Amino acid sequence: MMKNPKKVLMKFVQSYRHSTVPRWIILMADMSMFVVAFVLARALSRGTFFGAYQLVELCIGAALTLLCFLLFGTYRGIIRHSGLNDIFNIVISCIVPLVVLWGCNYVNNNWHILPPDCLMSYRESTMLYAMLICMMVMSRLAAQRFYNDYFRHHRIERRVVIYGAGAAGVITYNALMQDQIYEYKVVAFIDDDVMKLGQHLNGVPVLGYRTVLSPKFIKKKQVKQLIIAIPSIRLIQKRAISNKALDLGLEVKSVPHINTWIDGSFGVNQLESAKIEDLLERESIKLDNSNVRREVEGKVVLVTGAAGSIGSEICRQLLRYDIAKVVMLDQAESPMYDLQFELRNTEQFKGVLSKMEFVIANVKDKARIEEVFNMYHPQLVYHAAAYKHVPFMEENPYEAVYVNVFGTKNLADLAIKYGTEKFVMISTDKAVNPTNVMGATKRMAEIYTQSHSTEKTHFITTRFGNVLGSNGSVIPLFKKQLAAGGPLTVTHKDITRYFMTIPEACTLVLEAGAIGAGSDIFVFDMGHPVKIYDLARKMIQLSGLKNIEIKEIGLRPGEKLYEELLATKENTIPTRHPKIMHAKVRQYSVADVDKEYEKLWDELETLDDMRIVAKMKEIVPEFVSNNSVYCQLDHAGDIGNA
């Protein structure tokens, strides 16, 4: 019984779908095309297929052509993946024998070495190689089409627009056409250059930003994805384009910088999906490294909280300078081990292993911290160790005060005792008009260090908001909730926060240490605050998931809707850098501060949360609790004042 021809063909296709044609077959096919082109060229030129010396002409031409095919490797490529380089090789391998034959003709016409009919004329040889180029190119295009139609799995169609009609845009287009999974349909290029508008690239129109990124165009063309193909695009422009595309329901991807391309070539698998960090990040601040270099080179530096997000990045940046030693101190054993492993196994830092010291210690243990100071005599201290989670500290004011206030006091007192030149404390925007225990403890740490600055030991404070990528930020929480299928939880629909990157924050800290002269509080221009609800919505859009709910769960104890960088009674004056400002704040006397902190220590020993927080409110009058059990202390104060 005769088998179904269609089934036989499909079985053949499945069996040989991943096979490649042997090179010798490709070479034989190319040489066969040469013979056909030779016969056609002779027939068109002389009106006959045969001549007395045709075999001699054929042998000479075939030998030259075969040599060039072998030399330029026209037969080595995988036919179904032929590209511009393969076509270029074909053209070169045909032009070289053509030029050689022209030269032979010229020599023979002048010196009559061979009979005239033994060599093809200029016209014949030109026609021959022109037809051969066309045949070889067309055969490869036909093979690609046949493979795509019959041998390749049916691909999912994906309609896209490419932002950028330059070289990177063309490379991206070619990469999309070679993809094995999706059948990309590029419906438009977008470009800001008015000279390019209305032109076509590979048959695709180049249109303007407003034309393409409009609901009407996206719906009509059924566009699903936008690819930003400008590797050197400015961050502010990339953010604006991505936000517009997301609002239109498009998936956003971008071409990475050319330095990251694998072996100098680009493929679809290298496209980078847009991340929420890209939509929050600002243009990087530019600082003069000479200030920091002058400050830290040749010195012993102590970094507390070294295993945390900020502390570890400070250590990485410090190790890039010619410092004497970086003493990395933290009480968290596992994160400290991870940092040690990272630094010791990173190629960049292998030359400075002798400058690293890793110390496990808690800042509230004064005896242990003094042992560290006595051993290393740090000339600079960057104090990043602190408890930072607002709800936890609201429930544990004893520990918050012990670590954030008296841990800082231990370090500050020892810095003065051992002659440390500069002490840079990392504070937070939550220290401004605090509404929670954590923010109040950081403000109290600011007050203590600021009041104790001396001519020999300068105390400097830096304030900034949330950092992208830190373990305690909202972004990792949202990512976990998305992975679980939602919902995403926000405490209030109107809550806003400032965001900055970890490298930005640490660069600021180092610069503050360099330009500070004592009793200084520096704040950073953090741009515009971000609504957490909008952040959650953007993350859902970026994930591509549907029907993910955003659930409002209510403000947590001590949480406030809006963070501030300066208290209402404070103002700022500019510094040498436009993004860094110097805060003018209330000054406290050393005697008053010492007296009040002794009283706070007495309250701390009672382990009574209400008494501890009440004393904190005396020291920081602007500390007014919000959504907390400690609100009653504020009301009691109001009644008493009345």
What residue type is assigned to position 220 of the chain? K
569 noted as active-site residue? no
- How is the chain split among helix, strand and coil, in percent rounded to 5? 50, 15, 35
Three-state SS string over 288-335 comes to CHHHHHHHHCCCEEEEECCCCHHHHHHHHHHCCCCCCEEEEEECCHHH
Distance set, CA 224 to CA 161, 450, 524, 572 (Å): 8, 55, 39, 47
Q: Give the Cα separation of 105 and 118 in Å (integer).
A: 10
Structure tokens that stand for 94 in this block = 């045909």
Structure tokens that stand for 230 in this block = 């400008």
- The closest alpha carbon to 509, from 465, 470, 473, 461, belongs to 461
Residue 228 pairs with which residues in a beta bridge?
163, 254
- The closest alpha carbon to 471, from 334, 356, 274, belongs to 334
Under 8 Å CB-to-CB from 410, ≥6 apart: which residues? Answer: 363, 364, 365, 366, 369
Cα-only R_g, the chain: 36
* Active-site hit among 238, 430, 442, 538: 430
What residue type is assigned to position 457 of the chain? T
* CB 36, CB 63: distance < 8 Å: no
Q: The dihedral of CA 269, 270, 271, 277: what is its sign?
A: positive
CA dihedral 541→499→560→449, nearest 10 degrees, is: 160
CA dihedral 277→283→288→294, nearest 10 degrees, is: -10
Q: Give the Cα separation of 171 and 209 in Å (integer).
A: 20
Residues belonging to the active site = 430
